[in-house]
Amino acid sequence: SAVISQKPSRDICQRGTSLTIQCQVDSQVTMMFWYRQQPGQSLTLIATANQGSEATYESGFVIDKFPISRPNLTFSTLTVSNMSPEDSSIYLCSAEREWRDTQYFGPGTRLTVL
Amino acid sequence: EDKVVQSPLSLVVHEGDTVTLNCSYEVTNFRSLLWYKQEKKAPTFLFMLTSSGIEKKSGRLSSILDKKELFSILNITATQTGDSAVYLCAKLTDKLIFGTGTRLQVFP
């Protein structure tokens, strides 16, 4: 399995500001992903974080709102930009060691936007 | 639209009961079916099922996949209060597609 940490674990932010969430894996992984889980709902994939190139976004998510970086094989960041209360969610990163292998999840970041 | 449907949406049982959680999926681009347990924020991996008819077990939990009928079940025997959680199944294609989850509450 992969051990994944996320920072911060939670935050309360003001409308219009931005927050960057960090995800660190304990060893090199092939794939890293970012998910959103809105209150009472299941997980929705935001994007696949590609090492050394632009992230691949799912329908309904755009780079201007959710810029993602992945500078190496163990680390990625997700920024939630120009936040509104609708962005209040749990944000989770996950990683796969090998392509289409089991995905392991980080502990999540609970974001509240006032 | 690619869908994963779980049932029931919620379940309330007493300690010691046995529960069966259901997950059905569409066949498009299917690779594997995964089960996770989510207690607070982070989903914890339980099982990955790729082959039909082969049961996977871990303690009191077991799961099996039926690729002909396109469903999977997760069984929990002799439930304990610590089993209370949301159980998520997810279909793996080139990404994970999650169901809405089954919320299990186990009371003493």
In A, which residues are within 8 Å of B48 by CB distance? 102
Nearest to A100 among B92, B99, B100 (CB): B92
Residue A101 pLDDT: 76
Write down the residue that tokens 């927050």 correspond to. A19
Beta strand spans in B15-93 (E): 19-25, 32-38, 43-49, 56-58, 61-66, 71-76, 85-92
pLDDT per residue as tens digits for the range B75-103:
999 999 999 999 999 999 888 999 999 99
Q: Given this model, what pLDDT does residue B95 score? A: 86
Question: For an interface test with B, which of A35, A98, A100, A104 has the most B Cβ atoms less than 10 Å from its Cβ?
Answer: A100
Kindly indicate the confidence band of residue B27, based on its pLDDT and cuts at 50, 70 and 90: confident
Buried b (16+ CB within 10 A) or exposed e, B6-40: beeeebebeeeeebebebbbeeeebebbbbbbbee
Chain B hits for A102, CB-CB cut-off 8 Å, are 34, 45, 48
pLDDT at A1 over 80: no
pLDDT the model gives residue A40: 85
Please identify which residue in the block is written with the tokens 């003001």: A14
The SS3 assignment for A87 reads helix
Task: Record the tokens describing residue A39, joined without a space.
Answer: 């209150």
Confidence band, pLDDT 50/70/90 cuts, at residue B1? low
C-alpha to C-alpha distance for B19 and B40, rounded to whole angstroms: 21
pLDDT at A52: 83
Distance between CA atoms of residues A14 and A22, nearest Å: 19
Which residues of A are less than 8 Å from B30 in CB distance? none
Q: For residue range A2-25, list pLDDT tens digits in order.
A: 799 999 999 999 999 999 999 999
Tell me the C-alpha distance between A4 and B14, whole Å: 34
Residue A2: its pLDDT value, please? Answer: 78
Lowest mean pLDDT among A24-33, A84-93, B6-15, B16-25: A24-33
pLDDT by residue (tens digit) across A86-102? 999 999 999 988 766 78
User: How high is the pLDDT of residue A99?
Assistant: 67
Of B42, B45, B97, the CB nearest to A106: B42
Query: Mean pLDDT score of chain B, rounded to an integer?
Result: 94
Question: Is the confidence at residue B44, as pLDDT, over 90?
Answer: yes
Residue B54's pLDDT band, with cuts at 50, 70 and 90, is very high
On the question of pLDDT at B52 being above 70, the answer is yes
- Answer yes or no: is pLDDT of B72 > 90: yes
